[in-house]
Amino acid sequence: MAPGDLLECPLHATTGLWCPFCGGLRSVAALSHGDLAAAASFNVVVLALVPVLTVWWILGVRAAWAGRPQRGPLLTNRRWMVLDGVLLAFAVWRNLPDVPLGAYLAP
C-alpha cells in the first residue's frame, strides 16, 4: 500500500490546514517499511512518539506476564497542558510555510 492510498484528514479536506496528527498514519506506514526519512517528513511528532509508546507497550507486556496490573503514564494537568501546547505549536508551525522548517513539517 502506498502512503498516498491512505485516508485524508477531515480537517485538511475541509479547511486545507494541517492538524498535529495529519500524516500520522502515513508516517507509521513509512516506518513499517523502514523508511525513517519519509516517516519524519510525514509527521515528525509521530516519529518522536514511537520510542515512548514502544517502551510503554513493553512495560505493559512485562506487567501482564508477571500478573500485575499495568499502570498507565501519570499525566497531571500540567503535563496535559504542556502536551497540548506542544501539539498546538506544532500545528501552527507546520501551517506557516514561510517560517524556518515550516514547509518541511507539512506532510
pLDDT in tens, 14-28: 888 888 888 888 888
Under the banding of pLDDT at 50, 70 and 90, the label for residue 81 is: very high
Q: pLDDT per residue over 44-71, tens digit each?
A: 888 888 888 888 889 889 988 998 887 7
pTM strictly above 0.75: no
Domain residues of the chain, as ranges? 12-105
Dihedral (CA of 77, 83, 89, 91) sign: negative
Residue 5: is its pLDDT beyond 90?
no
pLDDT of residue 99: 77
Rounded Cα gap, residues 29 and 43, in angstroms: 11
- The chain-wide mean pLDDT, for the chain, equals 83
Quickly list DSSP for 37-49: HHHHHH-HHHHHH
The answer for residues whose C-beta is within 8 angstroms of residue 42's C-beta and 6 or more apart is 3, 23, 24, 26, 27, 30, 107
